[in-house]
Structure 1
Amino acid sequence: MNLHPTLVTDIRAIIANSRHKAIRAIDHERTLMYWHIGKRIFEEEQSGKDRADYGTYLIKYLSQQLQPEFGTGFSTRQLERYRQFYRLFPIAPTLWTQLSWSQYKLLLSIDNQSKIEFYMAESIKNNWTVRQLERQINASLYERLLVSNDKERVLAVAKNEKLPADAGEIIKDPIFLEFLGLKREAAYYEKDLEAAIITHLQEFLLELGNGFSFVARQKRIHIEGDEFFADLVFYNRLMQCFVIVEIKTTKLTHQDIGQLQMYVNYYDRVEKAAHEQPTIGILLCASKNDAVVRFTLPEGQQQIYASRYQLYLPTEQQLLAEVHKEMESFKEQQSPGQNRQ
């Protein structure tokens, strides 16, 4: 009896796909249920808004009635969350089926509509898990992008309304590597940092930004009898190009830039296909002199980038200071008639 060789594989794929869709559908129905509960609570609260503390009384009363029958999902805290959920998303069709209730709960902790839209778009586009979304929120991805790009452009790229015009729009500076878990008091060599990045490759790809996939570590490059090794090689599907990352745990030098430029030239001339864009090089360094970088590279070049890495996230005060400084700079560049309300 001749059975098709992919019969069992095909049926397994059908089962897995159907199960995934069923789980998604059940979770979305649960999300809609919480939305409708929040809507009903809000409507009732509005009808009695002339009475002091009516909202608090209402939530407490509902919890006493519902929790014994339906469980902890109807505690006062959860009911308040459903009410907040409705107020944040007052139109049911705006709820995305790609997002789980657990992801919506994370979004409820954000008090800025633009930030919420940004993280929703990024979660859907990158198919982030709950854990991945939580890490990006905790790592202040939105605020850090705000420091280096204006808000409108960041949101446009996140929503796929605008593809990045150049590598500078997707390469972060600084890059935060707090997820590596390296101790503050330890001394590190390039190989230590590289090994930690490989161990935490998924988190590192998330930190790099959109569209990155891993290609090779210590990629051997032969040039007429001489051997060189590029630390890390990635590919970016948005830019359609190779991305070479060189790690330097000391201050960046012009020799480091020249070495990476050689790797980039090699990939452009040997590895790159005709339809692909020019190779990008990123020097991941502990510190740098921007003037040295600028004078070492040709004017107007868009292939070599130097990004500082930081093993620890900035404090909230440092972050707010940077955001405030950026917004003040933006206002100064605008004439009074152009300032946004």
Structure 2
Amino acid sequence: MKKELSRIDQDFTTFVKEIKSKIISSQYEALKAVNKELINLYWDIGKNIVEKQEQFGWGKSIVKNLSDELQKEFVGIKGFSMQNLWNMRQFYLEYRDNEKLQTLSREIGWSHNVAIFHKCKDPLEREFYIKMVIKFGWTYRVLDNHIDNKSYEKYLLNQTNFDNTITEKYKHQAKLAVKDEYNFDFLELNDEHSERELEIGLVNKIREFLTQMGSDFAFLGNQYKLEVDGEEYFIDILLYHRRLKSLIAIELKIGKFKPEYAGKMNFYLSALNDTIKLPDENPSIGIIICKEKARTIVEYALKESNQPIGVATYKLTESLPSDLKGLLPTPSEISQRLESLLETTDNSTLDKETIN
């Protein structure tokens, strides 16, 4: 009898979980539908404002007067402030000649859209950030941080061998996790500093360091000890990437990148995979951060490596170096890369904070 009751309880528990899952899925789909309707409404309002200004020669006062009337009529409903009406107008003006961005913009929240069309002026840059929000469920704060840190340029420029060493499912997320350049201006170091000073500075300001690395990184330790055949080896900094479910080994170099650094990192990653990595985790990834690098030397050094490695530089002042801007891919090459970003998207994994 007890066994019978136990089986019934288990069946009922399973039944409840299935119903809850259906409800959550339905709620999320409803949120997406509501978000799309809201973006459509804001688009239409922005379009109407522009058309009436062109038709009747109305000036800026139309926006203030319209805001006053709408807030009187729809008391307690947010979204009809004068500033937000200006945002709707700009939204229409920015995207009216770009059908692709019009369509993509319906898939993300309004606050995300505002951040993107205010801060990004290049259509391909806007497409990149919209697709990143769709694919990875970035919250507004995460998106804003990526824009401020120039993730678009650094994603296009970054040097890794991930195309040949990481599975398709995780490849794009892994590329995004490695920037071409990191800004360590929060360290307040002199130009002349040692690798140890750099490491200790990053550990002492771990919050700022992880913010610069990205929102999905967690700190596991510095001078992380590995034992191989009785010998001890130490990784400068060991992180963990939650989305990739991978250990991230960081090696810091205050000089120019040398090919032998890739060989040493290859060794560390093999040891991590054999002795530290858990069975349900993905293979470890290495990031070598140097003061300088010659891009051709990096390409050759990573070419034959069978472990996923990225090579980046660090600066103590913020900005994308002007000499790197000329290395950005052509618009057609960028478009091809962006097209692949959503190929493996599973919308069910998106963060619900995307829609707000």
Q: Find the counterpart in structure 1 of residue 128 from structure 2.
A: 118
2:110 maps to 1:101 = yes
Label 1:16 to 1:204 Cα distance change in 2 as closer, same or farther (>3 A).
Answer: farther
Query: Deviation of residue 139 (structure 1)?
Result: 1.5
Q: Quick one: percent identity of the two aligned structures?
A: 27
2:151 to 129, 132, 141: 141
Stretches of structure 2 lacking an aligned partner (at least 5 in a row) = 160-167, 331-356
Aligned positions of 1:324-335 closer than 5 A: 325-326=326-327
Q: Find the counterpart in structure 2 of residue 27 from structure 1.
A: 35
Aligned positions of 1:1-341 closer than 5 A: 1-2=5-6, 3-4=9-10, 5-6=13-14, 10=18, 12-48=20-56, 51=57, 54-70=58-74, 73-90=79-96, 94-109=103-118, 110-145=120-155, 171-177=178-184, 181-183=186-188, 188-194=197-203, 196-197=205-206, 201=210, 204-205=213-214, 217=221, 220-230=225-235, 231-232=237-238, 243-248=248-253, 250-251=254-255, 259-266=264-271, 281-285=286-290, 287-288=291-292, 290=294, 294=297, 300-302=303-305, 305-314=310-319, 321-322=322-323, 325-326=326-327
TM-score of the aligned structures, taking structure 1 as reference length: 0.64
Name the SS for the 2:85 alignment partner.
helix
Name the SS for the 2:51 alignment partner.
helix
Name the SS for the 2:271 alignment partner.
helix
Conserved? CA contact 1:215–1:235, under 8 Å: no
Give the AA of the match of 1:35. Answer: W
Name the SS for the 1:73 alignment partner.
coil
Conserved? CA contact 2:262–2:301, under 8 Å: no
Distance 2:28 2:225 in 1: 41
Residues 50-87 of structure 1: per-residue CA shift (max 9 Å, x gap): x4xx2424334423432333367334332222122123
Name the SS for the 1:74 alignment partner.
coil
Q: Which has the higher contact order (CA 8 A, sep 6+)?
A: 2
TM-score of the aligned structures, taking structure 2 as reference length: 0.62
In terms of mean alpha carbon deviation, does 29-38 or 8-17 score higher? 8-17
Query: Deviation of residue 132 (structure 1)?
Result: 0.8
Label 1:277 to 1:30 Cα distance change in 2 as closer, same or farther (>3 A).
Answer: closer
Conserved? CA contact 2:157–2:180, under 8 Å: no
Stretches of structure 1 lacking an aligned partner (at least 5 in a row) = 150-160, 207-211, 331-341
Aligned residues: 297
